[in-house]
């Protein structure tokens, strides 16, 4: 097995027809991205573009067809030679003797036997160095107005529009990383329909205060993205186009309420929920060795589950208020997708970005509320 993996990494055979097939697949994926019922991948990509505009994490992870002509076999090998290096690789295994595993790694993962080490001519003449620049959170907005009424799989599906609102979070090396994880567990969320049951998070804020009260919301979920030097915390929502302005106000209100603190029972439930998710995942061997590898890459060592549980238990209401206030002092990131101006004549579309900034800065959302007052509380 290790021989197969090492051959795929250090000795791949890349043929021109395979590259063309990859271009076609990537082009199809990019075109279909915003036309799927599962809208999360699209919104995740766009909220990162808005939050980290034109740098590092802000570049789309989906292929740009306009750049395909510049990608050659030599450039691909050049990329592999820089990024697939021993000092950037962690080899993890579970249920195997360490000495035997170490010996196999030395045998098969020798960079000196790589394709590009044995034949320098396959590399592009100018192989760029690895980008070591620091991630810069910028905030901003991305809006795309389009008709999503035909999105579906042959069966009737609601005509929805989508909005995502985010703020600067914390990287996984930050002392605020665990409080942000608890914050995500506290907000939770999901779809408007759930079978319920223990561990489904039906008592999280976005279910109790949003989905249970706003019947027109089809989905409302909190996400916490953490990287080595940056983070992004956001809430995504889907609803009919005429309700998009209301959806933005509702999720913005959830952010502002975090700065007021949480009940002890609510905080305790969020911590138990987070701990149970972690421990249940660690019951599966593939997850164990993936967690092992990720932690070694991120921290240089593996943090024992007991230590993680202790860090979660130590999160206080003051920590939640502190990270929430810190988050709200950053510039908001906004994504609107679909019929963002609404469909009916009375509809109020997404507000201007400067209005949203003003409302968040003043902790007062009345500037976003249209003249026709709606009731969602």
Residues near 259 by beta carbon (within 8 Å), at least 6 away in sequence: 321, 324, 325, 328, 363
Q: Kindly state the greatest CA–CA separation across the chain.
A: 72
| pLDDT the model gives residue 4 | 95
| pLDDT the model gives residue 366 | 92
Whole-number Å distance between alpha carbons of 138 and 333: 8
Which candidate, 172, 229, 252, places its Cα nearest to that of 52?
A: 229
What are the 10-residue block averages of pLDDT along the chain, 377 residues in total?
94 94 91 84 96 96 88 94 91 89 93 93 90 95 91 74 98 97 96 63 91 95 97 98 96 97 96 95 88 91 94 98 98 98 89 96 91 55
| pLDDT the model gives residue 195 | 58
| pLDDT the model gives residue 53 | 97
Which candidate, 285, 293, 253, 257, places its Cα nearest to that of 376?
A: 253
Whole-number Å distance between alpha carbons of 64 and 358: 35
| pLDDT the model gives residue 250 | 97
pTM metric for this prediction: 0.92
User: At the fourth CATH level, which superfamily is domain 140-368?
Assistant: Metalloenzyme, LuxS/M16 peptidase-like (3.30.830.10)
| pLDDT the model gives residue 123 | 93
Whole-number Å distance between alpha carbons of 34 and 236: 15
| pLDDT the model gives residue 329 | 98
Task: Spell out the domain ranges in the chain.
Answer: 2-35+53-122, 140-368
| pLDDT the model gives residue 34 | 79
């Amino acid at each position: 097995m290790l021989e197969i993996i090492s051959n795929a990494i250090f000795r791949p055979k890349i043929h021109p027809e395979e590259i063309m097939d990859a271009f076609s697949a990537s082009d199809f994926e990019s075109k279909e991205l915003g036309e799927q019922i599962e809208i999360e991948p699209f919104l995740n990509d766009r909220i990162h573009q808005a939050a980290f505009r034109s740098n590092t994490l802000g570049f789309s992870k989906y292929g740009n067809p306009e750049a395909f002509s510049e990608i050659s076999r030599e450039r691909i090998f050049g990329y592999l030679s820089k990024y697939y290096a021993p000092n950037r690789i962690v080899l993890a295994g579970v249920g195997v003797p360490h000495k035997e595993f170490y010996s196999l790694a030395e045998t098969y993962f020798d960079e000196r036997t790589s394709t590009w080490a044995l034949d320098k001519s396959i590399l592009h003449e100018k192989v760029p160095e690895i980008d070591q620049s620091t991630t810069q959170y910028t905030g901003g907005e991305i809006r795309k107005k389009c008709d999503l009424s035909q999105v579906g799989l042959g069966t009737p599906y609601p005509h929805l529009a989508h909005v995502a609102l985010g703020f600067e979070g914390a990287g996984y090396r930050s002392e605020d990383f665990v409080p942000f994880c608890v914050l995500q567990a506290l907000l939770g969320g999901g779809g408007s329909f759930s079978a319920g049951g223990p561990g489904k998070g039906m008592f999280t804020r976005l279910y109790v205060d949003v989905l249970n009260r706003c019947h027109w919301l089809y989905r409302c979920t909190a996400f916490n993205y953490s990287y080595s030097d940056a983070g992004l915390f956001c809430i995504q929502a889907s609803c009919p186009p005429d309700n998009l302005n209301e959806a933005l106000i509702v999720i913005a209100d959830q952010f502002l309420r975090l700065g007021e603190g949480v009940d002890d029972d609510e905080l305790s439930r969020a911590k138990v929920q987070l701990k149970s998710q972690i421990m249940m995942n660690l019951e599966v061997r593939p997850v164990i060795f993936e967690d092992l590898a990720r932690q070694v890459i991120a921290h240089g060592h593996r943090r024992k589950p007991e230590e993680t549980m202790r860090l979660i238990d130590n999160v206080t209401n003051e920590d939640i208020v502190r990270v929430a206030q810190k988050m709200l002092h950053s510039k908001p990131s906004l994504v609107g997708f679909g019929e963002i101006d609404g469909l009916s004549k009375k509809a109020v579309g997404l507000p201007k970005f400067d209005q949203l900034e003003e409302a968040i800065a003043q902790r007062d959302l009345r500037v976003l509320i249209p003249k026709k007052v709606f009731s969602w509380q």
